Structure 1
Amino acid sequence: MASVPPPVSPPTPPLFLETARLRLRDCAEADLDRLLALDNDPGVKRFIDGGVPVAPESFRAETLPRLLGRGFWAAEERATGEWLGWFELRPLNAEAGWQVVELGYRLHRAVWGRGYATEGARALVGKAFTELGTERVTANTMAVNTGSRRVMEKAGLTFVRTYFEDWPEAIEGSEQGDVEYALTREEWLRTVGD
């Protein structure tokens, strides 16, 4: 009787960054169900598309390839391995490389208010300026998204401007516009020296 080989575990996606409480690694196909559930949480997506659910087929074809690409990192709690959501630190212009990057985050509502977004954002900003050759970090959200704005501020970014986009569907608060926050390497170096 032939022996059955043990099941092969999928390879662990590469680790990008660790903090005191977080592990950020490449997003992987194995994260599909978790990523889809996060995108279908109306509270999480309230300030993105009004919380409109996305069909699995549409998510797999349109959103998943972007999340599996350069600059998106699955977030796990170091102590438990619990999947928390994702962070983004992505070059705004592929040709310019890491010179100017966009910071973003999307975490499960169950872990909001625990400081994970701030911890991850601060660590990514630090990595951008110390290891990736970044000169400017930028982040955007709706003007009414005070929670996300606080995270940007705690990560060291400052308000740059309010702007108005023509979105296909207006959502509550969109009449107040979107805001851009940013931090340059020079500004960051001044705060690190304090």
Structure 2
Amino acid sequence: MKVFIETERLVLRQFTDEDTDNLFALDNDPEVMRFINGGKPVDRALIKEKFLPKIISYYSKYENYGIWAAIEKSSQDFMGWFHLYPALENAFAVELNLVKNDEIALGYRLKKDKWGKGYATEGSRLLLEKGFNEWGVQRVVAWALAENKASIRVMEKVGLKYEKEFMFKESQLPNINSLELKAVMYSLDKSIYQSRWVL
């Protein structure tokens, strides 16, 4: 297990080929996937042959950016993942002209039994701290469907501010009700992040 970084309660480690079942279980919980694909089942072969290899490819492509498996220290349970990577890696965001060259995208997906325990906030805060203070990140962005109130609360808790509304295309999220395609984008600049720590 190659540990990337740790918080008080979490280990963020690199994914391996052995994580197919972990991702399959995560992505086949209808409640976890409610605001991602409408809660539809995800094919195991797609995870194994497409999604997981793409995740692993980030580790050789970037020194400090990627998607990392989140492990709960107390139980050693796989509990989901966090990502911090160039926003241009997100095809939907590029298609919508939502992001720029220097923007880094923050995101997370956690198992339902780990919700409401502050893990998403804890992991996101650590990535922001490392990104802004050590990795040269200048601007972080994140987005979520407007109905995904829990994810938006995490963005706000870690200091990101509302920037704008936008609409996903029906072709991008075909299993989401067309009335729920409205989304919000949040952002945080390094100068604003660091000004909070100036006495």
**TM-score, scaled to structure 1:** 0.86
Q: What's 2:47 paired with?
A: 59
Q: What's 1:129 paired with?
A: 132
Q: What's 1:183 paired with?
A: 188
Unaligned runs of at least 5 residues, structure 1: 1-11
The answer to which of 73-82 and 130-139 deviates more is 73-82
Q: Is 1:107 aligned to residue 102 of structure 2? A: no
Unaligned runs of at least 5 residues, structure 2: 59-65, 90-100
Moved over 4 A (4+): none
Q: Percent identity?
A: 41
Q: What's 2:96 paired with?
A: none
Q: What's 1:153 paired with?
A: 156
In the alignment, residue 58 of structure 1 is paired with which amino acid? L
Deviation at 1:176, TM superposition (A): 5.5
In the alignment, residue 40 of structure 2 is paired with which amino acid? V
- Aligned-pair RMSD on alpha carbons? 1.8
The answer to which of 62-71 and 102-111 deviates more is 62-71
Task: Write the distance in 2 (CA, Å) between the matches of 1:58 and 1:192.
Answer: 43
Task: Write the distance in 2 (CA, Å) between the matches of 1:143 and 1:173.
Answer: 13
Asked if structure 2 preserves the Cα contact closer than 8 Å seen for 1:27 and 1:67, the reply is yes
Task: Write the distance in 2 (CA, Å) between the matches of 1:149 and 1:46.
Answer: 15
Q: What's 2:77 paired with?
A: 82
The answer to which of 67-76 and 134-143 deviates more is 67-76
Task: Write the distance in 2 (CA, Å) between the matches of 1:33 and 1:99.
Answer: 34
**TM-score, scaled to structure 2:** 0.84
Deviation at 1:99, TM superposition (A): 4.1
Q: Is 1:117 aligned to residue 117 of structure 2? A: no
Partner deviation per Cα, 1:78-113 (whole Å, 9 max, x = no partner)? 23321111001111247xxx9421100000000100
| Larger-gyration structure (1/2) | 1
Q: What's 1:17 paired with?
A: 5
In the alignment, residue 145 of structure 1 is paired with which amino acid? N
Aligned residues: 179
In the alignment, residue 137 of structure 2 is paired with which amino acid? T
